[in-house]
Structure 1
């Protein structure tokens, strides 16, 4: 995909990025060798060729399998630094990073190992690339709610490093209400709240209603199925609850990118943002997702800039950083 100069240079904020989903096949081989793990593939190209998933469950199989090479703090540091190096030339300025502790603790890797490696990369990325970042701890919805609660309690000593909590993995049969008590406790501990409401799954609109009215999230990850209920669209527009859409990943797990829904929701006053989700698996980082909207949606540069500003608005960045980011975007557009 050819990325236009405007898209490449536009200052960007990413709010829906799974750090485990940035594990490129080349790094997977490197970490496997370091940790003495034999992979069922001979080359990185074979790994990429195996990505034939066409729905969320088939993607998750490959996603969780890939994590088996992540064992040490250095592994998580290298994973995150590889992501930061990839997006620095795309002018990413701020990112709120999802991580899945249960995907690691369930296989014997401690939370401390995960978070100390990620934290070291965050500090170095800000020093080297000027990219600010924060961590969002996600619970896996296909595990028990009790395991999520135990993970929440285990995270409390690391609260200065964790901005909020989220909910991801297989949504089928795992509605938001299953985790209502966990998220209530997280709110009481001072964590900010978001949840995945994946595209085109059975009962999606009911789950969206639940996260708004029952859980009380500050934003919704994916969530474009909200168009099925105009009343809910109005609610989130009025409350400033944003959606973190991921156009390229949508094409892998649903019937299209949902770019037209992004345009429709923006016209209705919803703060929709663009993000890369799991870019190593779906084949596009933040700039490629902006370019996908530009090409498919045939939108103006001003529209793309509005999406970037939406991300600033619904981010959980400090007010001073938000003001700086808005200034950078406005100045860039003025000079473009």
Structure 2
């Protein structure tokens, strides 16, 4: 099964994902393609706790995949998509990303560039399809207005990106995902992923040490080779018995979301630090304090060391 991961909350993102799913379905059959929102009937689904039910349906598909194709654009990547990418990668599922974004990133002017705002995104990818330039201009005699011509060039750019992503996805060797196995990490060790938006570096690690855990922190944000350091961060996080992730920001930072997905796939306990009070609301769905994939993959949301200490003893 091919899983198309995409941002759910705007029609244009759903439209791009639907085009991608249609191209895949034409090659492998519609029963072999899963498109969230569409195939979970999100708009019309009725369930006692709708958000949790959607999480369960998505996670069920994540354990049955041949490959995942993720649509990624912009500096604020969708935290649900990043969580799904981390989950799939941890199960050994190939992850292909497709983007028409022309931006790349670096931590300093003279350090290596990477493809997305957090190098951990690049580190989990099997393939990246980047089509950063507009498509070729239409014939001047058929273009119509300059706005119609511009729209046509964007359509061509998207079509090229999606067609290439399908080619890459189909070229990935078929394999069965690894089963979810409860983590055997060190119960005394916590991997602490602080939000890059946090005003004080190391503050969350200090709070976690107060609870009594030994702390491991990521190294990719100061490394000379951020992508290689990101791979090491993921490996180091596997040794920990708990992931403590700061999910603060306009949405959960991409690295934190990826690590939460990976932890959920291997059964590692997740504590989400989110001192803000901010809820999202959608028709027929319970209020969520974060993207539902983050909320239901986390064992607890906390804002103080006292609350975290109480959870750690359960």
- TM-score, normalised to structure 1, is 0.29
Instruction: Identify the structure with the greater helix proportion.
Output: 1
Structure with the greater alpha carbon radius of gyration:
2
- TM-score, normalised to structure 2, is 0.31
